Amino acid sequence: MAGIVVVGSQWGDEGKGKVTDYLSSKADIVVRYQGGNNAGHSIEFGGKKFALKLIPSGVFSGHQVILANGMVINPKALIEEMHYLNENGVSTDQILISDRAHVILPYHMEIDAFQETLRGKNNIGTTKKGIGPCYVDKYARIGIRMGEFVDETLFYERLKEVLALKKREYPELAFDAEAIFNEYKEYAAFLKPMVCDTAIVLDEAFQEGKTVLFEGAQGTMLDIDYGTYPFVTSSHPGATGVSEGTGIGPINITHSVGIIKAYTTRVGAGPFPTEFDDEIAHHIREAGHEYGTVTKRPRRIGWFDAVVVNQSRRMSSLTGMAIMLLDVLTGLDTIKICTAYRLDGKEIHGLPSTVKDIERCEPVYEEMPGWKEDITHVKSFEELPVNAKNYLNRISELVHCPIYLFSVGPDREQTVIVNEIMK
């Protein structure tokens, strides 16, 4: 039995989709455990490109995929994604949805956009998919869960009850319970056969010695507790999210794979210590196609930050790393690595808790020579130019973590194993 978690270890968009797809051939079940369609996971193979938001990136393996209880699911977006896959010849028959997952309804998206407007220049830069407001309802104990949603009578009752509360809370917004019910009951009927207690399915899988792959969305720095709060998402993207987000215990996680860009990106607002914006940043943005999958916003660019990735290693007990988009750094004369921050004259190795202090942190850099050779066809660590090898080794040293694999292009084939995850 093995439980492998794929953890975004920076601010998201590290390449989780690619690694999940790559590893899914070895897994029996692939599970998403948090977040919703704020995620955008890209997968490329056989000349085809896919972008998934809700469905686990293991769907191409044909194995069972689960949308577990920690997720917030927009039913309309889910059905659209299923149709998109079906139209491209990918079966979605193996999807199961937790009866405990919370449902994102149109009022969540309206509230998300409204709150962003109210925040004005301090807006978070959310994806406006209703993620925060849906998790708020979960913890306020007024959310509608999949199990209720697919029971037409219960769904209607709960919707009326919740919207009565929302109208008092947001008198500026117009919510139409009848219109939502009439549209969404159709989606509920479509999804009903897939809804079940997925924790039982996972437990049975572990009992039978199967391998389960957990696909995180977002990244550690967007974690609700340990991210750059309040510029975060509303869930736990790391390995800590797996247990609460799936209903199985933490002991079932045997391997924790940190997904790490060879540099750093961030989309949306908030502090970003190693950010830079010059012609090199521009070059990296274009070479790495660094534009958001969901919102198409240009991603902000920064150097590799060992403080950030060490935090991910701590929080998710990383057992190894996947270093992604290494090819994007090809051609640079020198590459900077942030090894610590300087704050009030002292070197620190953890992120301060307040935005004010994070913004005052000065990255401590070391510089390494770059490489010019095309590495997109490299098939082994040994084939890499010596400076690329040194760069990977230095990252491993600074993060105190071995490298499982590195990636030299978006295609499934452009993946190089350094140490097998499951021997």
The residues annotated as belonging to the active site are 13, 41
Site residues for Mg ion, 3-42, by CB under 5 A, read 13, 40
Strand-strand pairing, 72-73 and 102-103: parallel
Nearer to ligand IMO, 219 or 363 (CB): 219
Least CB distance to ligand GDP at residue 234 (A)? 17
**If binding is defined by CB under 6 A, does position 222 make contact with ligand IMO?**
yes
Strand-strand pairing, 334-343 and 304-305: parallel
**If binding is defined by CB under 6 A, does position 325 make contact with ligand GDP?**
yes
**If binding is defined by CB under 6 A, does position 41 make contact with ligand GDP?**
yes
How does DSSP assign 139-153, residue by residue?
Answer: HTT---BHHHHTSHH
**If binding is defined by CB under 6 A, does position 42 make contact with ligand IMO?**
no
**If binding is defined by CB under 6 A, does position 300 make contact with ligand GDP?**
no
Task: At 195, give phi and psi (nearest 5°).
Answer: -90, 125
Count of residues that interact with ligand IMO, criterion CB under 6 A:
24
**If binding is defined by CB under 6 A, does position 403 make contact with ligand GDP?**
no
Residue from 24, 34, 126, 316 in contact with ligand IMO (CB under 6 A): 126
Q: What whole-number distance in Å separates Cα of residue 36 and Cα of residue 32?
A: 9
Most distant CA pair in the chain: distance in Å? 65
Nearer to Mg ion, 13 or 21 (CB): 13
Least CB distance to ligand GDP at residue 411 (A)? 8
Least CB distance to ligand GDP at residue 216 (A)? 8
Residue among 242, 266, 284, 248 at smallest CA distance from 370: 284
Residue from 131, 159, 212, 301 in contact with ligand IMO (CB under 6 A): 131
Q: What whole-number distance in Å separates Cα of residue 408 and Cα of residue 360?
A: 34
Least CB distance to ligand IMO at residue 386 (A)? 32
Task: At 292, give phi and psi (nearest 5°).
Answer: -55, 140
Interaction pattern, residues 276-315, with ligand IMO; x per rule: CB under 6 A: -----------------x----------------------
Least CB distance to ligand IMO at residue 312 (A)? 13
Which one-letter amino acid corresponds to residue 110?
A: E
How does DSSP assign 253-312, residue by residue?
Answer: --EEEEEEESSEEE-SSS--TTB--SHHHHHHHHHTT-B-TTT-PBPEEE-EEHHHHHHH
**If binding is defined by CB under 6 A, does position 339 make contact with ligand IMO?**
no
Count of residues that interact with Mg ion, criterion CB under 5 A:
3
**If binding is defined by CB under 6 A, does position 355 make contact with ligand IMO?**
no
Q: Which does 264 bind (CB under 5 to 8 A by kind): Mg ion, ligand GDP, ligand IMO, none?
A: none
Task: At 338, give phi and psi (nearest 5°).
Answer: -90, 120
Least CB distance to ligand IMO at residue 295 (A)? 7
Burial, 137: exposed, middle or buried (Cβ in 10 Å; 0-12, 13-18, 19+)? buried
**If binding is defined by CB under 6 A, does position 408 make contact with ligand GDP?**
yes
Q: What whole-number distance in Å separates Cα of residue 96 and Cα of residue 65?
A: 6
Q: What whole-number distance in Å separates Cα of residue 232 and Cα of residue 343?
A: 22
Q: Does the CA dihedral 325-326-331-333 come out positive or negative? A: positive
What separation, in Å, do the N-terminal and C-terminal C-alpha atoms of the chain show? 13
Q: Which residues bind to Mg ion, rule: CB under 5 A?
A: 13, 40, 293
Site residues for ligand GDP per CB under 6 A: 8, 12-18, 40-42, 44, 288-289, 293, 324-325, 327-328, 407-410, 414
Q: Which stretches of the chain bind ligand IMO, using CB under 6 A?
A: 8, 11-13, 38-41, 124-127, 129, 131-132, 217-219, 222, 233-234, 267-268, 293
